[in-house]
A and B are shown apart, each in its own frame.
Chain A
Amino acid sequence: MQEIRAKVVLIGSIGVGKTSLVERFVHQKFSNNYLSSIGVRVDSKDVQLNHAKVKLLIWDLAGEIYLSNQYKNYIKGAAGVMLVFDITRPDTYDNIKTVADDISKSHPQISVVIIANKSDLREDPQFKDYIQEGQEFDFLTSAKTGEEVELVFEKLSSDILQNSNILNV
């Protein structure tokens, strides 16, 4: 069975739920203090696909790193990038598409997915007015309910595997 290891980076504005997505997906090993001190927390999780195993090293970047454009230093050597926004806060979608296109252009080997998070709030009357039409995304997730969370990581792992001839260390 083929086995590869790959770096995946989660980026997005402050409070969009990146850390919650990782916590939902992996059994967290390291404290969140890393996020406030150095702006990054790394976790790992094995994803079992049909004929291969992908060990994901997931880099959860603090929102400030995304907003200050420093994320470019952290996506070096990545096989996948997850761009996350909050469906109840339209401002967190601003620039997401542009950033995704930029990454795909400058790092064609990186698989990029856009994630609309907090799907559990889509029916909440309090936020209904904020949810906008026409936003382009690949997955609608909820870290709270777990909706599509596994699916995102599996799909990304599958994409990474297809490119593994150049992505594996």
Chain B
Amino acid sequence: MSAQNDSFDQLRLILLSKDKEEFYQINDDLRIELLHEIEDLKRQLDDPIKFSQKIEGARPQIIDILGPVMGRMIRKYIQSEIEKLNESIQQSKDKFLSKASWRYWFKRDKEMGIHDLESPKLLEILLINKESGLLVSKFSKEQISDPDVVAGMFTAIKSFVETVFDQESNELGLIDYSDHKILLQTYGSYYYAIIFTGVNHVKFKETVLAEVDSFSEKNIIYLNNGVITDTEVTDLSIQMENHFEKVCKKLEQKSY
């Protein structure tokens, strides 16, 4: 598990190099001040109760400091911390932060200009041959450019990570880039690349993966074969569109 975390950290380092460059361009004094604030936030986030009290007390200062320089990196950092906090709260079933509190927190985010910290939104699901990287089928809510090439690149990144970290039994499960996240879920000779934006909410992830499971079970005959005929690909594409169109509607009705 620790090796897997290291792998993710290293991949994150590679993918976030551009963000890091932007960060280092920020004025030095401001950067030091920000780092103190971020460190402080980090400490506070370990204790959600203290954190919420602290936030309440220091709200004007935080807005003053963070508001004007709220770039992608800070947005991502806060998003990531919210995700961790969210997971921790869910796991412990601690009720101290009510849904209303969360809404209040998100309202503050928007006032601070963090417009992208929104509910997760499913954009695209690609069904890809694990070895060749060829796109078999897809569901698109928002069309990405050249999905065939994107499917190939996802497979290349997956192979790269699994080769570098020599993880034969483990597979790359998540690519985190800017506001986009790509969940990778393998079934037999194929894997799904599930692309979404917004907060990586545990319940959202569970719901989507459960739906992918359900779709895979229905189509297990295709997914266990290394070879699919053109007719089967067409059939699979229609089924995929129908299935995930319903899933999208279901997800839109829920608030995360």
Interface residue count on the A side (C-beta < 8 Å): 28
B120 part of interface (Cβ distance < 8 Å): no
A interface residues with partner B (beta carbon < 8 Å): 3, 5-7, 29-30, 34, 37-44, 55, 57, 59, 70, 73-74, 76-79, 166, 168-169
10 contacts between A and B (CB under 8 A): A34-B153, A37-B14, A38-B157, A42-B133, A44-B148, A57-B148, A70-B163, A168-B229, A168-B230, A169-B134
Q: Which residues of chain A are within 8 angstroms of B131 by Cβ–Cβ distance? A: 76-77
Interface size range of chain B in the complex: 20 to 34
Contact status of A169 and B136, CB under 8 A, knowing A29-B149, A44-B146, A77-B129: yes
B35 part of interface (Cβ distance < 8 Å): no
Q: Which 3 A-B pairs have the closest CB atoms?
A: A77-B132, A77-B131, A42-B152
Mark out the residues of chain B between 127 and 176 whose CB falls within 8 Å of any chain A CB in the assembled complex: 129-136, 145-146, 148-149, 152-153, 156-157, 159-160, 163
B interface residues with partner A (beta carbon < 8 Å): 14, 129-136, 145-146, 148-149, 152-153, 156-157, 159-160, 163, 227-230, 233
Cα A73 to Cα B157 in complex, Å, equals: 12
> When the two chains form their complex, are residues A38 and B133 in contact, meaning their CB atoms are under 8 A apart?
no
> When the two chains form their complex, are residues B156 and A59 in contact, meaning their CB atoms are under 8 A apart?
yes
> When the two chains form their complex, are residues B134 and A57 in contact, meaning their CB atoms are under 8 A apart?
yes
Cα A133 to Cα B71 in complex, Å, equals: 60
In this complex, what residue of B is CB-closest to A165?
B227
Contact status of A5 and B148, CB under 8 A, knowing A42-B153, A77-B132: yes
